[in-house]
Chain A
Amino acid sequence: MLKFSLFIFLVVSTFMLGLWAYKINYESRAAYQRVRQLEKSILLANKEIKILNAEWAHLNSPDRLRKLVKYFYLELKLNPISPDDFVLFSEIFWDQSNEKIHTELAGKSLTEIDHGD
């Protein structure tokens, strides 16, 4: 009897082990497939990022910006940075009484911005 139950136990456990191995096999194949897909999409995304980076660089090329600055000068009044633009902290006009109001105003205007969503 003991031998028989041992035999049954072995058969069942072999069967279970086989099932388990089968499951693991399929799971790992699925995982492998998924990794492949992810890798592929990462590579595609990287490729896209690369193109966008290159485009961004191209659009920001100094020659192009210089032309745009000229074109929109009346609206934007952009000038090359000059040494005059450097100001010491102590030289900044700093009216402390107005500070709070300005900050509040700024805070208010920021919350009023419509982000469109």
Chain B
Amino acid sequence: MVISNKKTNFAEFPRTRARLILFSLFVMVGFLLISIKIAFLASKENQKNIRYSGLENINSRSDISDRNGYILATNLEGASVYIRPEEVQEKALVAKKIKNIFPELNESVLLNKLNDGRKFFWLKSLVSPKQEKALFNLGQPGIYFGEREYRFYPYGTLASHIIGFTKVNEFDVNYVNISGVSGAEKAFDKELVKQKLSHRKNETIALSLDLPVQAEVENVLKEWQKRMSAKAGGVVIMNIHNGEIIALASSPGFDANKEKGELEKNEDNSIYFNRVVQGVYEMGSTFKIFSVAQGIEKGLFTVDSLIDTKAFKINSKKIEDKYSFNAKSSIYEIIVRSSNVGAARLALIVGEKGLKEILSTLGLMEPVHLEVREASLTQPIVPKKWRDITLATVSYGYGISVSLLHLAKAYAILGNGGFNVEPTILKNNHKGNLDSRVLKQSTSDEILKLLEAVVTDQRGTARILGSKYYRIGGKTGTAEKISLDKRGYEKDKVVANFVGLFPLEKPKFVIAAFLDEPENNLLREPCRYASCTVVPMVKKLIERTGPLMNVFPERRASKPQTDF
């Protein structure tokens, strides 16, 4: 066989040729696969997933801010301390020195832990920078620090019930899992964590609260609760058009930075109990306006209609008034002077169906759909059987218990021209404004006139509220508390409340306030009525918060000074 150097003809070796072709095919396919992989890796879509560093876990929970951007809750980094006993040399000395830094620790327990042969134990899950430095300065081996995130509330007790608080679910040396327990922390738990996963930038959740207003509200509430020796109190200010809650205060409050106690479930005296959202009370006369609204809406009567206001018996229970009324009074007078008899008569005219209809229209028969879980769990206590006497008592706010937030919502609907509105704690959340009309504009106008008369009329129960700056309208309510044995009412223990709308030129805000067991001892004789306990507080609240909310005063006391 002659092998030619010049020409290699594989035709003579068909198997070799086939192998060569197969081989080059393999090589080509290999190259093709590699190029595809390179192209895939180089594509933009893929580059997004590249994590450049492992530091992303820090600040994993987003901030919560108010509507102006003031930070209400944030994550900070602290340190946790753990010990590996086998590395510790002078155990007794270390135990003693640690005890000096943390006086609350038990020295002998600590020494036990150091000596009982365990490999690892947590000394403290979170220490302050000062304590961390002191421990570090001991210069002892075996003491280790881990990074530890914790939730910080810069304003302490401020808005604590709305912000809520968190708990640590699990933690490790460099890892902590925090979840919300109450308030916004619980309501937006998913969003607070999810935001960090999807965006690299730390985004905040903006609440509808206005911090300066909230601070002023809490300040005034605290002062008046003390002055009126009330057990508790609450205030809520809400925009009646979009349902945004501008301020919500419940007293007594708590500092989420300090107290991390177990949430005592629905216990009335718990500091974690949100009295505005969770507390349901019989509200008294603030309910009177509802049957009036229904009557006007359905054309059953007008504001000037005369109603029988003589005391009368119904289901063998006598309905009477504290003050004397004429035999017949106009609806205007019934509301302005707050007549129980008149309200009961109105409810009987409106009837069971009508009363139930208006109460459910205004959202008083179901929980308020606020974002916080506490709200959705708060079911109003409504009568099971609606007899005539039930109608009568419900008309002046007995036999039905709702929260202050319920009242604020109901008055918001009455005051905003009759549109349904859902309270919200989120800024620019259009869920609030449902834009669906539930009452006629004329009904809303008439009700606003009546509510203003309660303030402006010389006989009105809220006449103290007559402000030289703002036109305010509202209704007072004083309800005796059910006695502990639940058999009757306690004469000297009341819940005094007030719900008002302002500024009346163009109603924008509803303010609802209540004090639990108030007593004004600054007058000649002690007074427990809302007119002398809550109303002065509301006046102060409006005059303080009005300017902060940019409400231009319609009336001014004097011409402004011009001393330039």
Q: Is the CB of B154 within 8 A of A92?
A: no
Q: Is the CB of A61 within 8 A of B154?
A: yes
Q: Known contacts A50-B76, A83-B546, A91-B559; is A40 also within 8 Å of B53 by CB?
A: yes
Count contacts on A: residues with CB < 8 A to the other chain.
32
Cα–Cα, bound, A86→B70 (Å): 25
Of the candidates B70, B77, B219, B558, the one whose C-beta lies within 8 Å of that of A47 is B77
List of A residues within 8 angstroms of B74 by Cβ: 50, 53-54, 57
- Distance (Å) between the CB of B76 and the closest chain A CB? 6
Chain A minimum-CB-distance residue to B542: A83
Tell me, yes or no, whether B56 is within 8 Å of chain A by CB. yes
Tell me, yes or no, whether A11 is within 8 Å of chain B by CB. no
Q: Is the CB of A57 within 8 A of B70?
A: yes
- Distance (Å) between the CB of B197 and the closest chain A CB? 16
List of A residues within 8 angstroms of B219 by Cβ: 62, 66
List of B residues within 8 angstroms of A39 by Cβ: 52-53, 55
Q: Known contacts A47-B59, A83-B469, A84-B560; is A61 also within 8 Å of B548 by CB?
A: no
Number of chain B interface residues as a range: 35 or more
Quick one: which of B76, B154, B219, B558 has the most chain A CB within 10 A?
Answer: B154
Interface window among B209-217, B312-320, B404-412: B209-217
Chain A minimum-CB-distance residue to B544: A80
Tell me, yes or no, whether B308 is within 8 Å of chain A by CB. no
User: What are the interface flags for B528-564 relative to A under an 8 Å C-beta threshold, 1 for contact and 0 otherwise?
Assistant: 0000000000000001101110001100111110101
Q: Is the CB of A62 within 8 A of B560?
A: no
User: What are the interface flags for A5-38 relative to B under an 8 Å C-beta threshold, 1 for contact and 0 otherwise?
Assistant: 0000000000000000000000000001001100
Chain B minimum-CB-distance residue to A53: B71
Q: Is the CB of A83 within 8 A of B556?
A: yes
Tell me, yes or no, whether A82 is within 8 Å of chain B by CB. yes
Q: Is the CB of B156 within 8 A of A61?
A: yes
Cα–Cα, bound, A81→B557 (Å): 15
Q: Is the CB of B155 within 8 A of A62?
A: yes
Cα–Cα, bound, A95→B562 (Å): 11
Chain B minimum-CB-distance residue to A57: B154
Tell me, yes or no, whether A58 is within 8 Å of chain B by CB. yes
List of A residues within 8 angstroms of B543 by Cβ: 82-83
Q: Is the CB of B155 within 8 A of A91?
A: no
List of B residues within 8 angstroms of A106 by Cβ: none
Q: Is the CB of B154 within 8 A of A54?
A: yes
List of A residues within 8 angstroms of B75 by Cβ: 50
Tell me, yes or no, whether B158 is within 8 Å of chain A by CB. yes
Chain A minimum-CB-distance residue to B211: A62
List of A residues within 8 angstroms of B152 by Cβ: 54
Q: Is the CB of B562 within 8 A of A40?
A: no
Number of residue pairs A-B, CB distance < 8 angstroms: 89
Cα–Cα, bound, A39→B58 (Å): 13
List of A residues within 8 angstroms of B56 by Cβ: 43
- Distance (Å) between the CB of B337 and the closest chain A CB? 29
- Distance (Å) between the CB of B157 and the closest chain A CB? 8
List of B residues within 8 angstroms of A93 by Cβ: 562, 564
Q: Is the CB of A86 within 8 A of B547?
A: yes
List of A residues within 8 angstroms of B76 by Cβ: 50-51, 54
Cα–Cα, bound, A87→B284 (Å): 40
Within 8 A of A (CB), among B328-384: none
Q: Is the CB of A35 within 8 A of B158?
A: no
Within 8 A of B (CB), among A38-88: 39-40, 43, 46-47, 50-51, 53-55, 57-58, 60-63, 66, 80-87
Cα–Cα, bound, A92→B56 (Å): 55
Of the candidates B71, B158, B215, B553, the one whose C-beta lies within 8 Å of that of A83 is B553
Cα–Cα, bound, A57→B163 (Å): 15
List of B residues within 8 angstroms of A35 by Cβ: 52
Q: Is the CB of B216 within 8 A of A80?
A: yes
Chain B minimum-CB-distance residue to A87: B560
Q: Known contacts A39-B55, A81-B548; is A58 also within 8 Å of B564 by CB?
A: no
List of A residues within 8 angstroms of B557 by Cβ: 84
Cα–Cα, bound, A55→B75 (Å): 12
Chain B minimum-CB-distance residue to A51: B76
- Distance (Å) between the CB of B547 and the closest chain A CB? 4
- Distance (Å) between the CB of A40 and the closest chain B CB? 6
Q: Is the CB of A86 within 8 A of B553?
A: yes
List of A residues within 8 angstroms of B155 by Cβ: 57-58, 61-63
Q: Is the CB of A62 within 8 A of B553?
A: no
Tell me, yes or no, whether B165 is within 8 Å of chain A by CB. no
Q: Is the CB of B469 within 8 A of A54?
A: no
User: What are the interface flags for B69-88 relative to A under an 8 Å C-beta threshold, 1 for contact and 0 otherwise?
Assistant: 01100111100000000000
Q: Known contacts A43-B53, A46-B202, A50-B59; is A83 also within 8 Å of B562 by CB?
A: no
Tell me, yes or no, whether B419 is within 8 Å of chain A by CB. no
List of A residues within 8 angstroms of B562 by Cβ: 91-93
Of the candidates B52, B77, B212, B548, the one whose C-beta lies within 8 Å of that of A36 is B52
Chain B minimum-CB-distance residue to A63: B156
Tell me, yes or no, whether B145 is within 8 Å of chain A by CB. no
Please give me the 3 A-B residue pairs with the lowest Cβ-Cβ distance, nearest first. Answer: A62-B215, A57-B154, A83-B553
Seed contacts A86-B553, A92-B562; 12 additional CB < 8 Å A-B pairs: A39-B55, A43-B56, A43-B58, A53-B71, A54-B71, A54-B74, A54-B154, A62-B216, A63-B158, A83-B470, A84-B560, A87-B560
Residues of chain A at the chain B interface (Cβ within 8 Å): 32, 35-36, 39-40, 43, 46-47, 50-51, 53-55, 57-58, 60-63, 66, 80-87, 91-93, 95
5 A–B pairs (Cβ distance < 8 Å), ordered by A: A61-B156, A80-B544, A84-B558, A86-B547, A93-B564
